[in-house]
Amino acid sequence: MKSDIDALMKARNLDAIAIFGNAEHNPPMTYMTGGGHVSHATLIKKQGSDAILFHGDMERDEAAKSGLKLISYSNYDAQELFKKANGNGLLAGAMRAEMMFKDAGVTSGRVGVYGTYDLSAVFGMLSHLQKLAPAIEFVGEPREDSLFMRAMETKDETEVNRIRRMGEVTTSVVGKVRDYLTSCDVNKDEVLLKEDGSLLTVGDVHSKIRLWVAEHGAELPSGFIFAIGRDAGVPHSAGNPTDLMKLGQTIVFDIYPAEAGGGYYYDFTRTWSLGYATPEAQEIYDQVKEIFDTLNDNFDLNVPFKNYNQMTCEYYETKGHPTPLHTKAPVEGYVHSLGHGVGLNIHERPFSGFTAGDDERLSPGVVITSEPGLYYPEKGMGFRIEDTLWVRPDGKMETLADFPYDFVLPMKKWKK
Amino acid sequence: MKSDIDALMKARNLDAIAIFGNAEHNPPMTYMTGGGHVSHATLIKKQGSDAILFHGDMERDEAAKSGLKLISYSNYDAQELFKKANGNGLLAGAMRAEMMFKDAGVTSGRVGVYGTYDLSAVFGMLSHLQKLAPAIEFVGEPREDSLFMRAMETKDETEVNRIRRMGEVTTSVVGKVRDYLTSCDVNKDEVLLKEDGSLLTVGDVHSKIRLWVAEHGAELPSGFIFAIGRDAGVPHSAGNPTDLMKLGQTIVFDIYPAEAGGGYYYDFTRTWSLGYATPEAQEIYDQVKEIFDTLNDNFDLNVPFKNYNQMTCEYYETKGHPTPLHTKAPVEGYVHSLGHGVGLNIHERPFSGFTAGDDERLSPGVVITSEPGLYYPEKGMGFRIEDTLWVRPDGKMETLADFPYDFVLPMKKWKK
């Protein structure tokens, strides 16, 4: 939680932290500012002091919404610095940054750098700044274990409510897609038809999903997945827009809307087969559902998340599926880990893969996905069931948005 | 253009370039791959050789769409490296990167680093890699003058057509907003009413804008602006959602949709006053329109873009408005520069501010905005007119999407 930041800085021997970039689509900056349209900003926080947000003058109103201490870039004369730096933009930026760090009380020590932003510009600026301020050591941290990933790992109730709200948006949209698909007419080749009688494609469904998410004012990362057949069997294939929507094929629908501007996410997947399912698909789906339910029955407070990934592998191997337990980087069967934390990042701590830490646990306040998929692209099928769950302070697990788990969706106007 | 990359590398004494991050919302990666849902990828290109895209195994189908030479991360044993690095994730990443650079034929020389991605992780990884591969010098470049900003400065016709298509989306949405607003009923306080008789807010209009952009399958950065009154006078204020939509107040509507996944942008602004305008607002609007037209009449092939910013300042100062020509960082009057290039970045070369280079010119192939605004937040008003223009190979300037410039929009059901 945000209140952990000073303790985390101390534990990591960081005298200060600096975040670069925009307040949108930049989790550490969004975390500290609450979001808003503040671009090219810099946030500096000395250990034990309040954070300062340095911002462009034009964006003072948006910056003020953060409630942070503000300093406008116009306090530093950009044209003068540019001249002094002989037109070297990186050096001019480093000279300004040196003054900003000074104004934040930072002239020496270890400074952690964060943010999602232009790597080239920040790397180049820091190279110059390192020479101007040799008493400061700038340090980076691994993505999955950065100070912010640690702080963000446990959520307070305000954060959980924002995630829950995105869960409501998600299940509302998924319900609309289900109702739309099952209401379609079907031609003799078992292809779904649009209102005007033309063939319904995956691309048509993608458009509807985008529209229905936008109706809620939420943001839909374009990598959302609505894929059928072989594409459903490739875990991160978004779905081929020209594929036809047909009965009896597996559909993987993985959607993770976020608050507009890159806020909190919800992550959700269902697998459907329209009208009917092949016996082979039904059998595999039932296995996915069985381990999904078993996991829900077994999730327990403070247990390492990866233990449940191990449990999933063991179950799948008894059913004859390849898993990372005994197959290196399998391309079919169980090919990804069980789940991940969700918050301002769609993937964050705790992680559940074999390289995850023993300290990535189901601690009170974490929000995770459980998504035990199976993939057989060569058979033209894929399966994943995913909910987002919160480990409540009382130790109980709570699914943050409910939606039915039906695999076969009966068509309203079609019978076998 | 993309074909300039090897020449730019040579001119900058770069033996190789490396791009980190996702293929979405990451202009250099999108430029090289064409986009697609490829996350945590790395692209390495040695001077004179084809680029190689290193990608996760699960995303092989999306990676293949790039047409680039591919190498899967599964070629490098992540678990083995993690062990070798004693669980230091940054070091393990650096060890893998060293092998990737080797596989791309890069073992020494200057390597430019690019991409929009997690600064902490890449900075930390490069710090380790620098020690593992001391013969390589990693270099950053200023944002506005990076190799990619240079390459992207001139567009080929395929790129211009993608921008033009987003212009069509933009003007279609703006037209819908205009038609919606002017059809509203108005109460005795001159506040617009929704269909159900309740008061229409700026937030309601924001929702409609989002929905209508989503209908086109385009992406709308959440920083788009639809602001009224005082907020219209603060150039980057998005608009206060609870403000009421009233007659006779200036509305600044600045919208810049992009292709889904962070592709090409279009940038566009109109200023409206519903029903009627105050004489003071009308006078200022006319001045903005006059310089906007004068600029269009004067734009000429290969002239430095900043000359037109100077022309705008001079014109505004004759009308008594503060400008950066004689006021440092003005907060009212003409407070930003004339325009900027538009492409995979909403702001890219050529720039037009006083610190812009003499070489940022209206060269054939550049796509720019012209947006000479005026802002008076204390008077509760702001003004900006903006189109996106292409400097065609034949030297003619072409506005990429047409839309009327009316300031006062007559209300269909209301008369003064």
In SS3 terms, chain A reads as: CHHHHHHHHHHCCCCEEEEEECCCCCHHHHHHHCCCCCCCEEEEEECCCCCEEEECHHHHHHHHCCCCEEEEHHHCCHHHHHHHCCCCHHHHHHHHHHHHHHHCCCCCEEEEEECEEEHHHHHHHHHHHHHHCCCEEEECCCHHHCHHHHHHHCCCHHHHHHHHHHHHHHHHHHHHHHHHHHCCEECCCCEEECCCCCECEHHHHHHHHHHHHHHCCEECCCCCEEEEHHHHHCCCCCCCCCCECECCCEEEEEECCEECCCCCECCEEEEEEECCCCHHHHHHHHHHHHHHHHHHHHCCCCCEHHHHHHHHHHHHHHCCCCCCCCCCCCCCECCCCCCEECCCCCCEEEECCCCCCCCCECCCCCEEEECCCEEEHHHCEEECCEEEEEECCCCCEEECCCCCCCCEECCCCCCC
Residues in chain A closer than 8 A to B231 (CB atoms): 61
B269: three-class secondary structure by DSSP: strand
Give strand pairing partners of B327. Answer: none
Contact A143 B123 (CB under 8 A): no
Contact B214 A213 (CB under 8 A): yes
Q: Is residue B416 part of a domain?
A: no
Are B140 and B166 in a shared domain?
no
Contact B210 A260 (CB under 8 A): yes
Predicted model pTM: 0.83
Are A308 and A166 in a shared domain?
yes
Residues in chain B closer than 8 A to A25 (CB atoms): 25
Q: Which of A259-268, A310-319, B358-367 has the lowest average pLDDT?
A: A259-268
Identify which of A58, A88, A221 has the shortest CB distance to residue B336.
A58
Is it the case that residue A404 has pLDDT exceeding 90? yes
Q: Is residue A356 part of a domain?
A: yes
Instruction: Show which of A144, A172, A204 is a domain's final residue.
Output: A144
Please name the residues in contact with A39: beta carbons below 8 A apart, sequence gap of 6 or more: A22, A23, A24, A56, A59, B223, B236
What average pLDDT does this structure show over B331-341? 95
Q: Which residue does chain B place closest to A124, by CA atoms?
A: B140
Contact A121 B115 (CB under 8 A): no
- Given this model, what pLDDT does residue A45 score? 98
Q: Is residue B95 part of a domain?
A: yes
| CA atoms of B22 and B26, how far apart (whole Å) | 6
Of A129 and A218, which is predicted with more confidence?
A129
Q: Is residue A415 part of a domain?
A: no
Are B46 and B165 in a shared domain?
no
How close, in Å, is residue A218 to chain B by CA atoms?
Answer: 9
What average pLDDT does this structure show over A402-414? 97
Mean pLDDT of the residues in chain A: 94
- Given this model, what pLDDT does residue A221 score? 81
> Residue B199: which domain range?
154-409
How many domains does the structure of chain A reveal?
Answer: 2
What average pLDDT does this structure show over A264-273? 98
Instruction: Show which of A144, A174, A196 is a domain's final residue.
Output: A144
Residues in chain A closer than 8 A to B219 (CB atoms): 222
Are B123 and B193 in a shared domain?
no
Are B143 and B168 in a shared domain?
no
Are A70 and A170 in a shared domain?
no
Residues in chain A closer than 8 A to B140 (CB atoms): 90, 119-127
- Given this model, what pLDDT does residue B394 score? 92
Q: Which residue does chain A place closest to B204, by CA atoms?
A: A217
Among B123, B152, B259, B337, pick the best mutation site for testing chain A contact (most A Cβ within 10 A).
B123
Identify which of A118, A236, A336 has the shortest CB distance to residue B62.
A236
Are B351 and B401 in a shared domain?
yes
- Given this model, what pLDDT does residue A223 score? 76
Residue B260's pLDDT band, with cuts at 50, 70 and 90, is confident
Among A139, A236, A252, A349, pick the best mutation site for testing chain B contact (most B Cβ within 10 A).
A236
Are B73 and B85 in a shared domain?
yes
Mean pLDDT of the residues in chain B: 94
| pLDDT tens profile B42-84 | 999 999 999 999 999 878 888 999 999 999 999 999 889 999 9
Are A121 and A168 in a shared domain?
no
Are B133 and B197 in a shared domain?
no
Contact A222 B222 (CB under 8 A): no
Contact A125 B140 (CB under 8 A): yes
Instruction: Show which of B108, B123, B150 is a domain's final residue.
Output: B150
| CA atoms of A110 and A137, how far apart (whole Å) | 5
Among A71, A148, A220, A222, pick the best mutation site for testing chain B contact (most B Cβ within 10 A).
A222
Q: Is residue B414 part of a domain?
A: no
Of A97 and A355, which is predicted with more confidence?
A97
| pLDDT tens profile A383-402 | 999 999 999 999 999 999 99
Is it the case that residue A262 has pLDDT exceeding 90? no
Q: Is residue B317 part of a domain?
A: yes
For the domain that residue A71 is a member of, what is the CATH number? 3.40.350.10
Contact B214 A217 (CB under 8 A): no
For the domain that residue A312 is a member of, what is the CATH number? 3.90.230.10
Strands A52-55 and A69-72: parallel
| CA atoms of A331 and A379, how far apart (whole Å) | 13
CA dihedral in degrees (A284, A287, A292, A297; nearest 10)? Answer: 170
Is it the case that residue A415 has pLDDT exceeding 90? no
Residue B256's pLDDT band, with cuts at 50, 70 and 90, is very high
| CA atoms of A16 and A100, how far apart (whole Å) | 13
How close, in Å, is residue B121 to chain A by CA atoms?
Answer: 5
Are A293 and A160 in a shared domain?
yes
How close, in Å, is residue A413 to chain B by CA atoms?
Answer: 27
Are B221 and B312 in a shared domain?
yes
| CA atoms of B66 and B53, how far apart (whole Å) | 9
* Distances, alpha carbon B299 to alpha carbons B77, B292, B338, B384, in Å: 56, 11, 12, 18
Contact A120 B141 (CB under 8 A): yes
How close, in Å, is residue A244 to chain B by CA atoms?
Answer: 19
Between chain A and chain B, how many beta carbons pairs sit less than 8 Å apart? 207
- Given this model, what pLDDT does residue A59 score? 85
| pLDDT tens profile A137-173 | 999 999 888 999 999 999 999 899 999 999 999 999 9
Nearest CA-CA partner of A299 in A312, A286, A283: A312
| ipTM of predicted assembly, 2 dp | 0.82
What average pLDDT does this structure show over A91-116? 97
- Given this model, what pLDDT does residue B238 score? 83
Identify which of A214, A219, A236 has the shortest CB distance to residue B37.
A236
- Given this model, what pLDDT does residue A22 score? 86
Q: Is residue A149 part of a domain?
A: no
Contact A214 B217 (CB under 8 A): no
**Residues B92 and B99: beta-carbon distance below 8 Å:** no
Residue type, B415: K
How close, in Å, is residue A188 to chain B by CA atoms?
Answer: 30
Contact A119 B21 (CB under 8 A): yes
**Residues A263 and A30: beta-carbon distance below 8 Å:** yes
- Given this model, what pLDDT does residue B104 score? 98
Identify which of B60, B140, B231 has the shortest CB distance to residue A90.
B140
Is it the case that residue A217 has pLDDT exceeding 90? no
How close, in Å, is residue A224 to chain B by CA atoms?
Answer: 9
Contact A211 B211 (CB under 8 A): yes
Is it the case that residue B37 has pLDDT exceeding 90? no
Q: Which residue does chain B place closest to A145, by CA atoms?
A: B89
Q: Is residue B357 part of a domain?
A: yes
- Given this model, what pLDDT does residue A335 score? 94
**Residues A65 and A7: beta-carbon distance below 8 Å:** no
Is it the case that residue A236 has pLDDT exceeding 80? no
- Given this model, what pLDDT does residue A416 score? 78
Is it the case that residue B396 has pLDDT exceeding 90? yes
Identify which of B79, B113, B222 has the shortest CB distance to residue A219.
B222
| CA atoms of B388 and B185, how far apart (whole Å) | 33
